[in-house]
Homo-oligomer: A and B are copies of this chain.
Amino acid sequence: MTFLDATNRLCAFSMIADLAELPHDLREALNKICQLRHLRQGQVIAHPGEPHDLVGFVAEGILRMQKTLPDGRQHVVGLLVPGDVYGRVFDGAMQFSIEAATEAKVFVFPRHAFEALLSASPALDRLMLLHFLTEIDRTRDWMVILSNPKVRGRLAGFLMMLCTRFRNIEGMLGSMNGMLTVSIPISRADLAHLLGARAESISRAFHALADDGMIDIIRPDLVVLRSIEDLADEAGEPEMGEAILTEDLPSHRIGSLRRL
């Protein structure tokens, strides 16, 4: 797989979708300096504090960004899904470490070469700027989810976010006789850290939602969403439900969580 293949194949996703619209010669230039890396699960590709000289695009799999607290605990602060970009440009050290949550493939670009292309191409530069704006919105959406006072509500919000982000991502979102199935890319313990709770509480919250008929738990890492409306209601944001249920999503960045 080359980078050009990926941009064409992954054209459903935010960043890479936009990349596909770049002039062909620019994509060729990107193709020349990029390198495909296979990551095994658990592999760490960036450490906080030390300068990371690569910019990466996720092609397959899920990565998680996490902060290592002084006491050694890992604190998940975000997920990267295919189409996402990570790494620093024109800038200092990484704030977080990045670890492959599943087996994954990423395209990496030497930072300086990438920056040179950025400087030379206003179109690419503009794309990165828009991408970062989208990322800010996503992170603020996270804040809204996290500030739900109840664990059930936060979990419901998390599931809704997975829905919007995993839409069209191969293998992450399926449908079982009309119902939406979501694969949960991280463990209960990590989810607990992410949602400000304990693993036991997360487990209980999952089963509480199941008891209320909102979800079915096929496996710990695979759930069926039976009632998006109820989940959105639980999360405190009916509008999220509408957005997900709307089949023909318009281009990203319309409603709160409508961005892919």
Contacts and interface: CB of A to CB of B under 8 A. Distances in A.
B194 A147 contact: yes
A142 B78 CA distance: 12
B146 A147 contact: yes
Interface in A53-71: 65, 67, 69-71
A140 B237 contact: no
A57 to B, nearest CB: 17
B95 A140 contact: yes
Given A78-B143, A136-B135, A140-B96, A130 B237 contact: no
B137 A136 contact: no
A239 to B, nearest CB: 6
A168 interface: no
Chain A's interface size range is 35 or more
A50 B238 CA distance: 19
A239 B70 contact: yes
Contacts of A197: 149
A236 B139 contact: no
19 contacts: A67-B144, A69-B236, A69-B237, A70-B237, A70-B238, A71-B236, A75-B147, A78-B140, A91-B130, A91-B253, A92-B253, A95-B137, A128-B129, A139-B142, A143-B143, A143-B146, A147-B193, A147-B196, A149-B198
